[in-house]
Structure 1
């Protein structure tokens, strides 16, 4: 299915309305640029926002603006009365006031954004609703000599976060991307947003921000939030488009560019997360998107796919309980397919935007259920085949207990971090009136502990991929996790990549566990499976515990 790029209807799995508040800054002439259907850019953007989880759209305009969007058939049902603003400082104070009164995430963007609805949804329709910004690649002339453009403000990212952001006043050292112009601030950081906006407004009134233009409000706020220590996710949108334009030629090119992208295929690619373990990345995610498309065509829900995955795990356990070589091989195949569908349910949820707390809870519970049932089946089969009852059951029980302890260490640490407030800030506060950031940090101080990405409920983070713009092309940004490993040590890319995957493998995530169970059961027997799980599991537990202890004292 090929999506119509010029239509702003509700995307699959979405329902109109929601709980966020969008502040759209129609403060530049670009807001009134025409689209092929006769609407203005502002009208088009507003229609897109009301199809996403956005409760209200608050338009800030200039008193002398034409505001053709306010009349006729394009008047929006979810619009608040327009706010007239005289300049940059007042724009920022409007954002501050909105943040002070909001009880839900606040979205800030300028009306010159031309994007697929699904590109906006990547940031605005995710289940977490955390603070984040759309970021694209730094390519073309912007990559040379640190050239800056108001439409493409530079940023530097590390480990999936924006750690430095620029604009016409604030400079960025070693930029590796550009801000796409769409900023979302989660509920936990609304106070910080208000304080940053007010401080920037004061600086603008005192002419301390140089020649910053009216179109740079989101850019200033992003730089202010990052410098204030707020963790801002870096969100990219794959082959989908998210452009900013300044004139009619740019608007025409950007809108024409939307038609050159198969939005459905791009959304499907984006549904497959990066950051998963080695086995999941290369032996599941490399082809599971075909199953996602099939499930969507059949109208299956993510919960239905979870149920099928559980059924295949039960089949694997039954075949394992037979104990013969044929049963072990068939069980291994069924277990692999069960894990594939365990990944597909989350991918389908992201593809269709069908997120639910129940689905995430079922996903996590069923993962544990499937794993323990399969281990029980292996123990029964070994006992039935060999007649030995005393040798395998203690190993099976020990393997289950070890896995329970590993999960307890993992999730209890995450809960302790959340309760203590650790990790809420991204680093020391840096002055907003200084044009330059300090030296880039070698490692984010607030980087969360490594988790098992495959064990995340289906409402987990969306896949960070690439963004393309009509001005910059489509050169990829390297995954932050790979480029940050040993980046400051002078190691070769091959060594850094090997170190990255080693760190992923050593913690024995669910993909590696399922592969270990399936391979050892099919080639050897249950005793070898349990011994392998215990040996690798102890190493993984020690590695995870050491990492958490180090972070606790760090």
Structure 2
């Protein structure tokens, strides 16, 4: 394998364990071998550290290729798993386990290696083409809830695993524990005739059964296939060329589960601005700054209070929101994820909204007799609208934080929730019951799906509500609409969080 300096330089991406434990990693391709090809791909993705594991758990020396060696037996598998456990215990960040017999698009690997969350994840496909190198999975709510190997089965499978597993920093201890347990079980023959080919499949089974929250990174139209022979490798590489990776990246840069207004009235055309913005070398933070600037201008026009100024302010609010969507799309397209950018985007949303509130209140108060709280109590209404939004965001962020904390505590303290000796994962696939189950069933209807999206008053609907009511009516109507809809949304969200927490 050609280990280039970029493979070991510091970066923000995860460390990678390349499992060169099967003969297929030496299959030839235009870049040398499949192992060489993966090395070049990881270099292009700026991976900070690569460890190459050879049969029996030994590390590959610099510049060497793995020797032909039969490792598809329980003893070899046990040593490989123990080597992964040792690397997991010594890792200081996310660790990706990647079989060297994989043929994949660069962007397919980037779905894990360049994702900003850095948590545990598995590369999955929604197709039902199950095979020895494509074990079935069950995915619910965007995460893997059951995984399979030649020994373990999955009821009601709805996806397949494509061989790439990432353990987030919080789950490294769990990965090490299950790797060692799986090594013992494999060596004792209690998992049946498992082989070194299944190492990553077994690790996913163990991580899921240990209670880790494993995000399902869906391939979509991209390809990632493990191969066993030269014909399979040649065919897999040919299929890669049939997909336009750049187009797929653009398509996935636009959220497919966004709000109604954002989906149909913004993202439907803002996607065409992503490539020009990238060619102009605009950064997502620059676009965020422009969005804030337009919101401030909107507030200035709203403060004038005339009908023409209100209409122009409404147009500027809409354009500000378009740029608010564009900055995220540009970040996903260019993979320019930074903690500062995520923080700035969230803070900018709040700043823009409250500046617009102030502009609307000033415009309404202008020229009218001053009363306590402003004319018609307009400042009271503005503050009440702000409070409603603050409460809604507190409900969201507090719930999200509690879920994250619970996941960390579970990874650190909980015992495996399902035994690795149980062939069938009986706890997977159980449908939600009660109110939550009814909600899931109703969401299959398109009209109800979009109604549920709109009732929570996401930012797209809020900006549209502000723009339309300000242009057609006045600030008092705008604030009354925000308070009423916002209160309904807060009650809906609170009820939903309570039901989910009680599940």
Taking structure 1 as the reference length, the TM-score comes to 0.81
Secondary structure at 2:134 match in 1: coil
> Is the CA contact (8 Å cut-off) linking 2:443 and 2:449 kept in structure 1?
no
Residue 498 (structure 2) pairs with residue 513 (structure 1):
no
> Is the CA contact (8 Å cut-off) linking 1:106 and 1:185 kept in structure 2?
yes
Q: Kindly state the Cα deviation for residue 549 of structure 1 after the two structures are TM-superposed.
A: 3.5
Q: Kindly state the Cα deviation for residue 390 of structure 1 after the two structures are TM-superposed.
A: 2.5
Larger mean CA deviation between 187-196 and 253-262 belongs to: 253-262
- Which sections of structure 1, spanning at least 5 residues, go unmatched? 1-7, 143-147, 446-480
Residue 125 (structure 2) pairs with residue 136 (structure 1):
yes
Q: Kindly state the Cα deviation for residue 101 of structure 1 after the two structures are TM-superposed.
A: 1.5
> Is the CA contact (8 Å cut-off) linking 1:40 and 1:69 kept in structure 2?
no
Query: How far apart, CA to CA, are the structure 2 residues paired with 1:279 and 1:407?
Result: 19
Counterpart of 1:87?
Answer: 76
Quickly say closer, same or farther: Cα 1:68–1:94, change in 2 above 3 A. Answer: closer
Correspondence 1:73-152 to 2 at 5 A? 87-139=76-128, 142=129, 148-152=130-134
> Is the CA contact (8 Å cut-off) linking 1:319 and 1:328 kept in structure 2?
yes
> Is the CA contact (8 Å cut-off) linking 1:417 and 1:423 kept in structure 2?
no
Correspondence 1:302-381 to 2 at 5 A? 302-381=284-363
Which of 53, 61, 73 matches 2:54? 61
Which of 476, 480, 486 matches 1:531? 480
Query: How far apart, CA to CA, are the structure 1 residues paired with 2:427 and 2:464?
Result: 43
Larger mean CA deviation between 178-187 and 281-290 belongs to: 281-290
Residue 425 (structure 2) pairs with residue 437 (structure 1):
yes
Quickly say closer, same or farther: Cα 1:93–1:444, change in 2 above 3 A. Answer: farther
Query: How far apart, CA to CA, are the structure 1 residues paired with 2:260 and 2:152?
Result: 39
Q: Kindly state the Cα deviation for residue 51 of structure 1 after the two structures are TM-superposed.
A: 3.1
Secondary structure at 2:30 match in 1: coil
Correspondence 1:134-533 to 2 at 5 A? 134-139=123-128, 142=129, 148-384=130-366, 389-391=374-376, 392-419=378-405, 424=410, 429-442=417-430, 493-494=444-445, 497-533=446-482
Quickly say closer, same or farther: Cα 1:176–1:531, change in 2 above 3 A. Answer: same
Larger mean CA deviation between 194-203 and 379-388 belongs to: 379-388
Q: Kindly state the Cα deviation for residue 345 of structure 1 after the two structures are TM-superposed.
A: 0.8
Larger mean CA deviation between 403-412 and 88-97 belongs to: 403-412
Secondary structure at 1:23 match in 2: strand
Larger mean CA deviation between 151-160 and 349-358 belongs to: 349-358
Counterpart of 1:546?
Answer: 495
Query: How far apart, CA to CA, are the structure 2 residues paired with 1:525 and 1:278?
Result: 24
Larger mean CA deviation between 153-162 and 403-412 belongs to: 403-412
Query: How far apart, CA to CA, are the structure 2 residues paired with 1:550 and 1:95?
Result: 39
Corresponding residue pairs, total:
486
> Is the CA contact (8 Å cut-off) linking 1:138 and 1:175 kept in structure 2?
no
> Is the CA contact (8 Å cut-off) linking 2:17 and 2:52 kept in structure 1?
yes
Query: How far apart, CA to CA, are the structure 2 residues paired with 1:364 and 1:405?
Result: 16
Counterpart of 2:24?
Answer: 30
Q: Kindly state the Cα deviation for residue 69 of structure 1 after the two structures are TM-superposed.
A: 9.5
Q: Kindly state the Cα deviation for residue 358 of structure 1 after the two structures are TM-superposed.
A: 1.5
Counterpart of 1:21?
Answer: 15
Query: How far apart, CA to CA, are the structure 2 residues paired with 1:361 and 1:492?
Result: 31
Instruction: Select the structure that is richer in helix.
Output: 2
Q: Kindly state the Cα deviation for residue 319 of structure 1 after the two structures are TM-superposed.
A: 1.9
Q: Kindly state the Cα deviation for residue 44 of structure 1 after the two structures are TM-superposed.
A: 0.7
CA deviations 1:236-282 (Å, max 9, x no partner) are 13332222212111111111122222211111112122332222222
Taking structure 2 as the reference length, the TM-score comes to 0.89
CA deviations 1:439-497 (Å, max 9, x no partner) are 5344689xxxxxxxxxxxxxxxxxxxxxxxxxxxxxxxxxxx9xx8756x5x6942xx3
Q: Kindly state the Cα deviation for residue 19 of structure 1 after the two structures are TM-superposed.
A: 5.3
CA deviations 1:289-345 (Å, max 9, x no partner) are 211111101110111101110111112112222222222222111111111111111
Q: Kindly state the Cα deviation for residue 30 of structure 1 after the two structures are TM-superposed.
A: 1.0
Query: How far apart, CA to CA, are the structure 2 residues paired with 1:553 and 1:63?
Result: 46
> Is the CA contact (8 Å cut-off) linking 1:17 and 1:50 kept in structure 2?
no
CA deviations 1:67-122 (Å, max 9, x no partner) are 99944xxx8xxxx9xx9976111111111111111111111121111112121011
User: CA-atom RMSD, angstroms?
Assistant: 3.1
